[in-house]
Amino acid sequence: MADKKMVEAITSMDEDFAQWYTDIVKKADLCDYTSVKGCMVFKPAGYAIWELIQRQLDDRFKATGVENVYLPMFIPESLLEKEKDHVEGFAPEVAWVTQGGLQPLQEKLCVRPTSETLFCDFYKNLIHSYRDLPKVYNQWCSVVRWEKETRPFLRSREFLWQEGHTIHASHDEAQERTIQMLNIYADFCEDFLAMPVVRGRKTDKEKFAGAEATYTIEALMHDGKALQSGTSHNFGDGFARAFGIQYTDNQNTLQYPYQTSWGVTTRLIGAIIMVHGDNEGLVLPPKVAPTQVMVIPIQQKKEGVLEKAQDICDRVGRIARTKLDSSDKSPGWKFADCEMRGIPLRIEIGPRDLEEGKCIVVRRDTREKTPVMLSELEERIPQMLDRMQKDMYNRAREHRDAHIWDAHNYQEFKDIAENKPGFIRAMWCENRECEDKIKADLGVTSRCMPFNDDDQISDVCACCGKPAKKLVYWGKAY
């Protein structure tokens, strides 16, 4: 049977999580490899998820006054080099254009790995007076980082993202914007992607090249590894000083402005897969599902079945993103296909249902089957989608919370790192040596210092035993 064969083709997640992930990506038709090493094709099913993410985030950004712009994809070498830490962080992994048309270029251009330097160059000409501040700009684009190891959505040489770049008169205002955008990301992940996140600050070791402080949201994947899912950086006036951006304040004094940047990428699609997927395939939270409901006729050649299925599709289509699968495949194949693609609800309608004026609605996540009267579809479908969205969040949250382990000393830290997948909470002295040792010994990195750190689990650093200063979430990470 085709449906059986299709399902068998996925590796079980417990057997080989990495292979399970790759199988889903391919079988759910999200993306494909290309002749361009390290780059991928976003197929319609994958790109449609990104479109929903874009639309939703863009609306949330704009509600806070963000305006979209578009800057060039190329950065002249001399511009990239202006901020010392920044160029050190990015120069080793950029692609260089050295020839334009038939001529070698006088100055080589890198394909943007991120656009801080371009925005600084732009702002330098734009900002003169305090009246020109703030600017709260964002762009949707692709960026390139010449990675050696790549994985679909999680790490590729070219990926899609948005990058916000803002400039402010005061450090306080920049800091406020930095946190505001992090919170937008966190709320979006929890509300729209049904994915709980830990909000916090990165250690100095893990912060963005050139930033004063980097803030992050960290999510836990089903295999217990962390995924950095969005970051927001406060640059202080470091870039402004490096680029000579100045404005006259209302006392007519020259000042350096303060900057931020913040971004999320198509790796969020990888996060959705690894937080919600199961052994039957992808499971999409209803809000981010390009198709929310699939109508599948049973014995579709019997009189009236296909017409009724079409009628249901039209009616439900007015309140949810709905499709009808009227292909000549078997119902079993269609069910399996629907499950593989993660479509939240499927509606089964056959000759007997027709007589009884009902249909069967099946939830993708629980596979729960509910008979629903046809007359009640408009009422019930939105309720079921809503319920599923909430349940998926709660389940992900329970899974996450059940995989947070406290380490009070190094022995505990070691035991957990070796045996228990998930986040490790441990106190830290704030010395780089301990952070380096933990990574070298145990293979875990500091994910973040959470905003909510009331729960100080000990007075001493779990690594060196000296007085502790910060609670840190540690973990293996993608």
Please report how close the Cβ of residue 35 comes to a copy of itself at its closest, in angstroms. 5
- Phi, psi dihedrals of residue 277, rounded to the nearest 5°: -60, 160
| Complex with a copy of itself: residue 66 or 427, whichever CB lies closer | 66
| Complex with a copy of itself: residue 76 or 351, whichever CB lies closer | 76
**Two tokens at 127?**
């900002």
Please report how close the Cβ of residue 282 comes to a copy of itself at its closest, in angstroms. 18
* DSSP sequence for 370-425: EEEEGGGHHHHHHHHHHHHHHHHHHHHHHHHHTTEEEESSHHHHHHHHHH--SEEE
| Complex with a copy of itself: residue 9 or 402, whichever CB lies closer | 9
The Cα 57–Cα 64 span in angstroms is 11
| Complex with a copy of itself: residue 48 or 306, whichever CB lies closer | 48
| Complex with a copy of itself: residue 122 or 413, whichever CB lies closer | 122
| Complex with a copy of itself: residue 5 or 387, whichever CB lies closer | 5
Q: Which residues pair with 260 in a beta bridge?
A: 166, 234
* DSSP sequence for 282-348: ----GGG-SS-EEEEESSTTSTTHHHHHHHHHHHHHTTS-EEE--SSS-HHHHHHHHHHTT-SEEEE
| Complex with a copy of itself: residue 110 or 349, whichever CB lies closer | 110
Instruction: Give the binding site for a copy of itself (CB under 8 A).
Output: 32, 34-36, 39-44, 47-48, 50-51, 67-76, 79, 92-102, 108-109, 111, 118, 121-122, 125-126, 137, 141-142, 144, 146, 148, 157-158, 160
Give the closest residue to 346 by CA, choosing from 379, 373, 307, 309.
309
Please report how close the Cβ of residue 48 comes to a copy of itself at its closest, in angstroms. 7
* DSSP sequence for 360-385: EEEETTT--EEEEEGGGHHHHHHHHH
Please report how close the Cβ of residue 101 comes to a copy of itself at its closest, in angstroms. 4
β pairing state of 31-33 and 158-168: unpaired
Please report how close the Cβ of residue 205 comes to a copy of itself at its closest, in angstroms. 22
Please report how close the Cβ of residue 420 comes to a copy of itself at its closest, in angstroms. 36
Please identify which residue in the block is written with the tokens 């269609």.
Answer: 334
Please report how close the Cβ of residue 144 comes to a copy of itself at its closest, in angstroms. 7
